[in-house]
Structure 1
Amino acid sequence: MSKPDLLELVRPDLRGFGGYKSARSEDLRGDVWLNANESAWSNPADANASSRRYPDPQPAALKTALAGLYGCAPEELLIGRGSDEAIDLLVRALCVAGQDAVVATPPVFGMYAVSARLQDARLIAVPLIDGAEGFAPDFDGIAGAVLEQGAKIVFLCSPANPTGASIALARIEALLQTLQGRALVVVDEAYGEFSQVPSALTLRARHPEVAVLRTLSKAHALAAARVGVVIADPRLIAVLRACQAPYPVPTPCAELAVAGLSPGALASTRARIALVIEERARLACALSALPGVRRVYASDANFLLVRFADAEGAFRALLAAGVVVRDQRAAPQLQDALRITIGTPEQNARVLAALSAQAVAA
């Protein structure tokens, strides 16, 4: 079976599509800019006079910083509004409405299913398998969804949200070898900084049909800036860029992100990641010892998935203590589970105090 060219996965009507050419996409030089119908004056509230002009669609300084951070070439990277925009762009660019399918592995991040529905792409759910080591993908089921049902995209989340488990690179590569380029395998590494498992970026040299999602929202503490990237073959990046809205990255967000990737900021980020990992282990151990806790799943992310004998009671006890956690009980296989983000040591102590009091009262 010959391996198809990567661009054969792109919608036929979008191969060669140029997209919208904005005023900032033209490589022009001048000191009087009258080509984009912008105001000649700054807004009175704009102290730095930096917002009256449309931003660079892919800010050069930010793109260089992100490429350095993730160890890729700038042309292999597209910046967007968090990972959410990248997921949406991938589904729209590859899936013909009413015809193509997307694979997701519930319980998992809900945007894969949302983007598929918005594009009228069929969603093939291949549930995670809950075993002794935690939740893991059903690789045989995923391969069948592609080879037998013609799915165009496979979304793998590693570390997975909300289950917390990473996927070994050997398992991802084995899947790629089985699929032989019949689908794009998208590895969402939003929580990758908290895991010891190497990034799937290391697979791309051998497998151009891999795309990797990264974000500054989690470990880098820039959730409000909405800066995420998709890293993929430059040909696919060019297709996605043509499908993207003209000005995806606001200038203030780009400037903040560049500052947040300075050597000093990165050093602080690394220290906080280490603290999160330390607190994750401490909190997992303490939660496991509480009466009423059925299971604490091992996690490579900045959260813990916890099963409770009385999940409603635990949720309400935490709320009463002013602690808001994510209720997972509506998700497949998680009818008794809550997801608890790792906070500061003091915040984690409040979690334990509230749940301990609830256990005593019960």
Structure 2
Amino acid sequence: MSATATPFPRELVREDLRDFAGYSSARTSWAGTARIWLNANEAARANHADPEDLLRRYPDPQPAPLVRALASAYGVDPADLVVGRGSDEAIELLVRALCRPGGDGVVVSSPTFGMYAVSARLHGVPLHDVPQRDLGDRFEVDANALTRTVRETGSRVLFLTTPGNPTGSTVPLATIGALASDLARSAVVVVDEAYQEFASGPSAITLLGDHPNLVVLRTLSKAHALAGARVGVAIGHPDLAAVLRRVQAPYPVPEPVSRLALAALEPSALSDTAARVVATIAGRDRLRDLLDRSDLVEQVYASEANFVLARGAAGPLLETLAGTGIVVRDMRHQVEDAVRVSVGTDAELDEVARALHLTPAPTTQRKP
């Protein structure tokens, strides 16, 4: 079943791209069967480094077995899904397809993932920021201000990240649904769920059937431990998915990556991923406790991702950890006096504890 039976608002696509056919590759220009392929100027013989002759041919632009496996994993129709080079490419495709260079606009809610701003700038699209509210233990988006900003600026894309990066905070489904409804004819609401597997609540994928202007981004980089493979998807209305495929560069999924991703979506691999997620959540709780006990940390934010955001004496904290060879992310460019620490293995968290002169054992005591 497709994400929605309601038509996608075609007017949200760039006017000059609404009828754009895209690049017709050798793979997509022939729909029939063939015995001998001589249409793509590929080498006639395999490379010595490829003795099984797996890489001599160009790959399918959207490998059907992988698309079906990803669609099954996320509970959507294959027609609703576009696979590409990580979520970063999906972000790029959305800005490219929906926003005119020098016009329209992209709305974000800082602190947030930096690629939204990068893609907007690369395409010459104005960026409008509606800062989140810092509630002390978590961050909260200002839905009314986001709706107002989209309308006042004529923006075509609103990016939400849940769980947020670097905040670790989530956006309630009711808020996402309300934004999508309020902006139904104004903008595409993009929900970046790179860390959804670590969250306690349901995915915004459950809202797709009611909102043609909603897109959800997912990735194999985090919970599935395949950051080096670069596999991400955009899930949304099939009409919009077709537009994104047309503006995508050819052959986005190399053959080895496709095979690896398929293997990662096998039942045994998914079982291993589920166990890894459970271990990560336990490690996240322990990491929060460690940071909470450090004299260099004043505030530890709640997190539903695979990292923890903390505020305090950021400079000394960064120096202390770096002095023992531990690198964490300096987030002071987004949140005052803040660092972001990824959840590591038990042994790595032991090293963090030692670097902070703490006993490795966790504690349930929190600062007031």
Instruction: State the partner residue of 2:366.
Output: none
Q: Give, in angstroms, the shift of residue 133 of structure 1.
A: 4.1
The answer as to 2:37 corresponding to 1:24 is no
* Secondary structure, aligned partner of 2:117: helix
The answer as to 2:131 corresponding to 1:153 is no
Q: 1:192 aligns with which of 179, 196, 212?
A: 196
The answer as to 2:205 corresponding to 1:201 is yes
Instruction: State the partner residue of 2:220.
Output: 216
- Superimposed CA distance per residue, residues 271-306 of structure 1 (whole angstroms, 9 cap, x where no aligned partner): 010010111112212221221211110000000001
Instruction: State the partner residue of 2:14.
Output: 11
Instruction: State the partner residue of 1:128.
Output: 132
Cα distance in structure 1, aligned partners of 2:207 and 2:48: 50
AA partner of residue 9 (structure 1): L
- Superimposed CA distance per residue, residues 151-195 of structure 1 (whole angstroms, 9 cap, x where no aligned partner): 110000000000001111011112222223311000000000000
- Superimposed CA distance per residue, residues 23-77 of structure 1 (whole angstroms, 9 cap, x where no aligned partner): 1112132221100000011110113211110001011111111000000000000
Instruction: State the partner residue of 2:364.
Output: none
Cα distance in structure 1, aligned partners of 2:302 and 2:250: 41
Structure 2 unmatched ranges of 5 or more: 1-5, 359-368
Q: Indicate if the aligned counterparts of 1:6 and 1:208 stay in contact, CA closer than 8 A.
A: yes
The answer as to 2:244 corresponding to 1:240 is yes
* Secondary structure, aligned partner of 2:153: coil
Cα distance in structure 1, aligned partners of 2:346 and 2:21: 51
Instruction: State the partner residue of 1:355.
Output: 356
Q: 2:332 aligns with which of 321, 325, 329?
A: 329
- Provide the TM-score with structure 2 as the length reference: 0.93
* Secondary structure, aligned partner of 1:225: coil
Structure 1 unmatched ranges of 5 or more: 358-362
Q: Indicate if the aligned counterparts of 1:4 and 1:181 stay in contact, CA closer than 8 A.
A: no
Once the two structures are superposed, the pairs formed by residues 133-148 of structure 1 within 5 Å of their partners are 133-148=137-152
* Secondary structure, aligned partner of 1:109: coil
Instruction: State the partner residue of 2:346.
Output: 345
Q: Give, in angstroms, the shift of residue 315 of structure 1.
A: 0.8
Cα distance in structure 2, aligned partners of 1:184 and 1:196: 25
Question: RMSD between aligned alpha carbons?
Answer: 1.3
Instruction: State the partner residue of 1:360.
Output: none
Q: State the 4+ residue runs in structure 1 displaced beyond 3 angstroms.
A: none
* Secondary structure, aligned partner of 1:116: helix
Cα distance in structure 1, aligned partners of 2:19 and 2:31: 21
Q: Indicate if the aligned counterparts of 2:297 and 2:310 stay in contact, CA closer than 8 A.
A: yes
Instruction: State the partner residue of 2:284.
Output: 280
* Secondary structure, aligned partner of 1:353: helix
Cα distance in structure 2, aligned partners of 1:133 and 1:335: 14
Once the two structures are superposed, the pairs formed by residues 159-174 of structure 1 within 5 Å of their partners are 159-174=163-178
Cα distance in structure 1, aligned partners of 2:187 and 2:213: 7
* Secondary structure, aligned partner of 1:127: coil
AA partner of residue 353 (structure 2): L
* Secondary structure, aligned partner of 1:338: strand
Higher mean C-alpha deviation, range 289-298 or range 215-224: 289-298
Cα distance in structure 2, aligned partners of 1:242 and 1:74: 16
Q: Indicate if the aligned counterparts of 2:180 and 2:188 stay in contact, CA closer than 8 A.
A: no
The answer as to 2:67 corresponding to 1:67 is no
- Provide the TM-score with structure 1 as the length reference: 0.95
* Secondary structure, aligned partner of 1:103: strand
Q: Evaluate the alpha carbon distance shift between residue 4 and residue 147 of structure 1 in structure 2; reply closer, same or farther with a 3 A threshold.
A: farther
Cα distance in structure 2, aligned partners of 1:314 and 1:289: 13
Q: Give, in angstroms, the shift of residue 256 of structure 1.
A: 0.3
Q: Give, in angstroms, the shift of residue 131 of structure 1.
A: 0.8
Q: Give, in angstroms, the shift of residue 319 of structure 1.
A: 1.4
Q: Indicate if the aligned counterparts of 1:276 and 1:342 stay in contact, CA closer than 8 A.
A: yes
Q: Give, in angstroms, the shift of residue 5 of structure 1.
A: 5.0
* Secondary structure, aligned partner of 1:23: coil
Cα distance in structure 1, aligned partners of 2:7 and 2:270: 40
Q: What number of residue pairs does the alignment pair up?
A: 352
Q: Indicate if the aligned counterparts of 1:105 and 1:127 stay in contact, CA closer than 8 A.
A: yes
* Secondary structure, aligned partner of 2:311: strand
Q: 2:314 aligns with which of 294, 311, 314?
A: 311
